[in-house]
Amino acid sequence: MITHSWKAWPARIPQYAVASGLALIVATAMASASAEAGQPAATTSTFTAEVWADNWFALYANGKKVGEDSVPITTERSFNSATITFTASYPLTIGLMAKDYTENASGLEYIGTDRQQIGDGGIIAQVRDNKTGKTISVTNGSWQTLVLSKAPLNPSCVSSSNPTVDCKSSTITAPAGWSKNGASSKGWKSASVYTPAQVGVKEGYAMITWDPAAKLVWSSDLELDNTVLLRTSVKAP
């Protein structure tokens, strides 16, 4: 039978044991403090994005909207470049919501005029880390894209005198968190690269000195896909 009471136990711990126990606690605390100090510094930085879009875009970083084209899409010939500065951390997922102008759900523009047409999109972007001055991302075929809005599904309606009735369209909403790190890539495809001539670049495009690696991109259909998401992820340098 055990007769020692628990109360008596601490009294029997030798002084050296208490001292070394304290030393261990202090050493542990110091070790964890130095481990924290040894972590890489927070990889937050400010970035500058330069974007040109036919016709409009919004820019996202790690799931947050950080800027958009200041010229409304409804502006006739809203071709302009934009420069947006934002703060974010690595790993950095950059997202673009790009919209080609359409007058309504038909997917057409200049409806009722002799210029009634389907129209096309196109976007190019480059992003610089302001801490290093280096370009850390450019749009190219490695970006992923998801089509949100497509119209007309029946391009022959382009000559219709009543496009809102005759033109068919399809639209889905952007998946929640689509521009967050690790977002699902279900349904996403590789972006398609287009030449300046294919997009028909206009005002604003030449205002920016594009990195030679930066390409005009869109989904696989420059004409019928009217709202597309584009994204890429950048690891910490």
Nearest to 47 by CA among 137, 143, 129: 129
Rounded-to-integer distance, Cα 22 and Cα 30, Å: 12
Q: Which is nearer to Ca ion, 119 or 163 (CB)?
A: 119
CA neighbours closer than 13 Å in the CB half-sphere of residue 110: 12
Q: Which is nearer to Ca ion, 50 or 100 (CB)?
A: 100
- Specify the stretch interacting with Ca ion by CB under 5 A; choose among 42-50, 113-121, 158-166, 211-219: 113-121
Least separation in angstroms between residue 36's CB and Ca ion is 51
What's 130's DSSP letter? T
Residues 62, 88 contacting (CB under 8 angstroms): yes
- Specify the stretch interacting with Ca ion by CB under 5 A; choose among 24-32, 46-54, 150-158, 210-218: 46-54
Residues 52, 124 contacting (CB under 8 angstroms): yes
Asked, as a colleague might, if the bond just before 10 is cis with ω within 30 of 0, I would say no
Q: Which is nearer to Ca ion, 117 or 160 (CB)?
A: 117
- CA-CA-CA-CA torsion for 104, 168, 100, 66, nearest 10 degrees? 90
User: How many CB atoms neighbour CB 103 within 10 A?
Assistant: 16
Residues 155, 167 contacting (CB under 8 angstroms): no
Does the protein bind Ca ion through residue 119 (CB under 5 A)?
Answer: yes
Does the protein bind Ca ion through residue 225 (CB under 5 A)?
Answer: no
Least separation in angstroms between residue 219's CB and Ca ion is 14
Q: Which is nearer to Ca ion, 100 or 129 (CB)?
A: 100
C-alpha 37: how far from chain center: 31
Rounded-to-integer distance, Cα 59 and Cα 49, Å: 9
Per-residue contact track with Ca ion, 66 to 105, x per CB under 5 A?
----------------------------------xx----
Size, binding site for Ca ion by CB under 5 A: 5
Q: Which is nearer to Ca ion, 36 or 76 (CB)?
A: 76
- Specify the stretch interacting with Ca ion by CB under 5 A; choose among 4-12, 52-60, 71-79, 146-154: 52-60
Does the protein bind Ca ion through residue 54 (CB under 5 A)?
Answer: yes
Least separation in angstroms between residue 140's CB and Ca ion is 21
Least separation in angstroms between residue 236's CB and Ca ion is 36
Least separation in angstroms between residue 125's CB and Ca ion is 17
Give the E-state strand segments of 9-117 in sequence order.
44-53, 56-61, 64-68, 80-89, 92-99
- Binding region for Ca ion (CB under 5 A): 54-55, 100-101, 119
